Structure 1
Amino acid sequence: MQYKQAYFDALRDFAAKDPAVMADLAGGRCIEDGRAIIIDYLGQHCTVTHPEGEVTVRDWPPLPHEELIIILQYLAGASGLPCREQWLSFLELPGGPHHFAPFQQEAIFPLAKALGDDSEKFLQAAETLGATKTDLGHVGAIIPAFPRLPLAFMIWLGDDEFPAKANILFDASSPTYLPTASLYMLGIAVSKRLLAAAGC
């Protein structure tokens, strides 16, 4: 029921806004005389009809409800601000400390467990999501969840003394695009897609 209400709220906000304005602020483009928006999502072209809010990603099966909500919220709430290239941990997001423990359990710990000893597999999986390599962590990748909302994924490889660690960072402009609850869902969704791309 919680996801259902969140979806209807996101759809209402999306349908009420001018598609051309949303596309411009979100880094997408309008097609079909404003009846649809094309936006990149994890390196794939995503089509969102307006005002219906039907979301399709080429060559992907139907998206889960969490990702549908995130995409509609991103379009409806995009500020248009450029990335600041300053990275924040989930703890540093507004209200982040209240949800950090479950975020670790659902998004961060699985990355360290599955990919903490295989940097090549991590990078190859990230590339399928449109990532570019970064020098964050022992091995890191910046994944463009949306054109103006990147996430930085990083791993510190484990050894005989220390277990592998991972983290997910958000650009400082992220809260102007999505509320923290949605950034929480986004981090988990991208983490799951990264693990799936790695065959984990």
Structure 2
Amino acid sequence: MSHGEMESESNYQVVYSKLWQDIKKRSPKEITAVRSVSYNSDTRQFIVMFFNEEYIVNWDNEIIFRKTDGFFPDVMATIIMLNYLACAQPLPESDPKWVSVKEIPGGMIFYSAFHKRAILVLTEIFGHQAYKLLHAAQSLGGETAPFGDSSVVFKAFPEVPLCVIVWEGDEEVRANATVLYDPSIRSLLPSGIIIDLGIYLAGELKRLAEASCN
């Protein structure tokens, strides 16, 4: 389900409840066997690493909060993390390359929204100051990559990398940006959530870049 489809609170609650039902159909041991998460059987909590931050996913209370300060993530981040657990399957082998949204099954259906809310956002913020991407990426655990004028690889989850690339523009060349995924993500998350993941990352990078200017 895409972010646009989750705008209403009632719809969000339906999705939220369904994902928890799917998670609880599995045993915690089954999930930890195929995901890079831990589970504390005493507290009945998963610990999920999401963009360089540890989050507690509480089995009994069905809530998610950041371990360091108790912060509750927004709707999009919550749904992404629940999908990550609910869709837990063995990690497939993948080619050592990156793929675009257009190469993900169903990706073209969501491409217009992805372009508007991820690509254009990244281009606007970093397209004429690509170096700012590296600064904004630090708190999200990003590592420099050798693409474009500036590029960073992030780990949304330990086994789910994304790559953001920016090409600077000038008077003759239009600025551009993209978000690429490891091919294995096609088996790890639903297409709509893959799109939301890129949109979420773009939004976080924009927020961090703007905060550093204030």
TM-score range, shorter chain: over 0.9
Give percent identity, aligned residues only: 28
Post-superposition Cα deviations, 1:160-198, rounded to whole Å, max 9, x if no partner, equal: 111210000111000211010111111111111111111
TM-score by length of structure 2 reads 0.87
Q: Distance in 2 between matches of 1:74 and 1:31?
A: 18
117-126 or 56-65, which deviates more: 56-65
Q: Distance in 2 between matches of 1:49 and 1:88?
A: 33
Post-superposition Cα deviations, 1:55-77, rounded to whole Å, max 9, x if no partner, equal: 11134732112211110110121
Three-state SS of the structure 1 residue aligned to 2:57 is strand
129-138 or 167-176, which deviates more: 129-138
Native 8 Å contact 2:137 2:152 kept in 1: yes
Three-state SS of the structure 2 residue aligned to 1:78 is coil
TM-score by length of structure 1 reads 0.92
Q: Distance in 1 between matches of 2:44 and 2:124?
A: 43
Residue 146 (structure 1) aligns with:
157
Distance change (3 Å), C-alpha of 1:91 and 1:2: farther
> Following superposition, which runs of at least 4 residues in structure 1 exceed 6 angstroms of deviation?
none
Correspondence 1:12 to 2:21: yes
Correspondence 1:35 to 2:38: no
Residue 99 (structure 2) aligns with:
88
Post-superposition Cα deviations, 1:75-106, rounded to whole Å, max 9, x if no partner, equal: 12122316733211001111111111111001
Three-state SS of the structure 2 residue aligned to 1:88 is coil
Q: Distance in 1 between matches of 2:75 and 2:12?
A: 7
Native 8 Å contact 1:125 1:197 kept in 2: yes
The one-letter code sitting in structure 1 at the alignment partner of 2:206 is L
The one-letter code sitting in structure 1 at the alignment partner of 2:111 is F
67-76 or 18-27, which deviates more: 18-27
Three-state SS of the structure 2 residue aligned to 1:66 is helix
Correspondence 1:198 to 2:205: no
- In the alignment of these two chains, the number of paired residues is 200
Q: 1:47 aligns with which of 38, 56, 69?
A: 56
Q: 2:126 aligns with which of 115, 135, 140?
A: 115
Distance change (3 Å), C-alpha of 1:15 and 1:104: same
Q: Distance in 2 between matches of 1:187 and 1:83?
A: 22
Q: Distance in 1 between matches of 2:27 and 2:176?
A: 43
Runs of 5+ unmatched residues, structure 1: none
Runs of 5+ unmatched residues, structure 2: 1-9
Q: Distance in 1 between matches of 2:43 and 2:201?
A: 28
